[in-house]
Amino acid sequence: MRHFDYLSIEERDELFYGKPISFNRNTEKDILSYSLGATLYTPATKATISQDIVQKKHEGLVSMVACLEDAIGDHEVMDAEQSILKQIATLAYSLQLGAIDINDVPLIFIRVRDVAQMIRMADALGDDLYVLTGFVFPKFTSKNGEEYFSALQSINAPLSFTVYGMPILESAEVIYKETRLDELVSIRQILDKYENLVLNVRMGATDFSSLFGLRRGPDVTIYDISTIRDCISDMVNIFTRTEKGYVLSGPVWEYFTNGDRLLKPQLRQSPFEKQLGGVQGRKLRLKLLNKFEDGLIKEVLLDKENGLTGKTIIHPSHIKIIHSLSVVSHEEYEDAMSILQSNSNGVLRSHFSNKMNEVKPHTNWAKRVLVKSKIYGVYHGHINFINLLAKSSKIQLQYSR
């Protein structure tokens, strides 16, 4: 996998000062944990999963979750298990035949219902388990967390590769204020015990919201829902500390089509016109507004500012938006390099003459920027996500004919 591989070499040269690196399920965890980007959820009953991967149906897709839990009905569990086993076996066979390379297989995860199902699926996969990057643990708590990771450790024991776990925090114990901090600290202690197996920590904002009878609309972000915002703040505090932190991913964005707009659009017109010219700039902006994707853009920007990396998605149209916003700007990259290469522990004037870079307090930020610059690349100085989205939209239009 490599982000933006759907672009031509010439287009990547035009857009990127630093090109994204390649990765696959065997890449070291410190890189892989930041690489998931937009993680697409799909029901495990879907019969074309392997076909879609081999044919690269969804441009830009690098990670996905086949869901055996909320995405399917209780009466479909056995059929869903057999379906995803068949899909993974087909992918394994395609790899053996050379129809697809391991570097072209997205990071694939199975979201299980419980520990017993995970063990059963791992046993059933047998040698095909190497196609899978890991399992997702829903409604992860301090009560079931040890059992999940202990079982995962046993699954990994005979393997020459790592099968990771991604806990989803979405239970009442986490969102209710009277139990939250004790619960988060207890969960953190479990994760620290199995740190080598924890790829990401994820959050279930939809489940959180349901406990209060809430659902955010397309005109607002999850940060406008005060109860969820407060919980995100505590999760960031507990899990992403730089001395020994985990990658915490952003919550799902649920909307993928147009509707009636109540609030004023959140995308200014001038940046689009500046980057693309009047006609093309307005056309791209209007396209985003028509699908309420200005709300998604705002939420991704807030995710980044709050230290979240990547995002759960339920529609492939979100992939390119999230990834284009994940690319490191040339200014961020130059500031980070200046900080890390400094022989001083003091204050440096930014090369862009618009800020002061303080070496000591900004070092951890700079290190994270460099990791992301390897995975998502670095824009040229005059380029930003608008240019990349414009290129991506053009390619998608040609691809769909």
As a whole number, the mean pLDDT across the chain is 92
In a domain, residue 286? The reply is no
Q: SS3 for 97-124, per residue?
A: HCCCCHHHCCEEEEECCCHHHHHHHHHH
To the nearest 10°, report the CA torsion of 82, 83, 88, 89: 60
Query: For residue 395, what pLDDT band results from cuts at 50, 70 and 90?
Result: very low
Query: Which range of residues forms the domain containing residue 238?
Result: 22-256+291-327
pLDDT band at 348; cut points 50, 70, 90: confident
Number of domains in the chain: 2
Q: Average of pLDDT values for 240-258? A: 88
pLDDT band at 259 (very low <50, low <70, confident <90, very high): low
The values of phi and psi at residue 212, to 5°, are -115, 5
The reply to whether 174 and 296 lie within a common domain is: yes
Band (400; pLDDT cuts 50, 70, 90): very low
Please write the tens of the pLDDT for every residue from 9-44.
999 999 999 999 999 999 999 999 999 999 999 999
Q: What whole-number distance in Å separates Cα of residue 141 and Cα of residue 170?
A: 9
Tell whether 274 is covered by a domain.
no
In a domain, 216, yes or no: yes
pLDDT for 401: 31
Instruction: Say if residue 304 is in the same domain as residue 183.
Output: yes
- E-strand ranges in 112-163 read 134-137
Q: What percent of the chain has pLDDT over 90?
A: 82
The residue among 367 and 345 whose pLDDT is bigger is 367
Mean pLDDT of 385-396: 81
370-398 mean pLDDT: 86
Judge if 70 and 159 occupy the same domain: yes
Q: Express each pLDDT in 295-334 by its tens digit.
A: 999 999 999 999 999 999 999 999 999 999 999 999 999 9
Does 87 reside within a domain?
yes
pLDDT at 398: 39
225 and 359 co-located in one domain: no
Summarize the confidence of residues 214-219 as an average pLDDT.
87
Same domain, 251 and 375: no
Sign of CA dihedral 188, 194, 200, 205: negative
Instruction: Say if 332 falls within a structural domain.
Output: yes
Considering the domain architecture, whether residues 202 and 177 belong to the same structural domain is answered as yes
What integer pLDDT is reported at residue 258 of this predicted model?
A: 64
Is residue 146 situated within a structural domain? yes
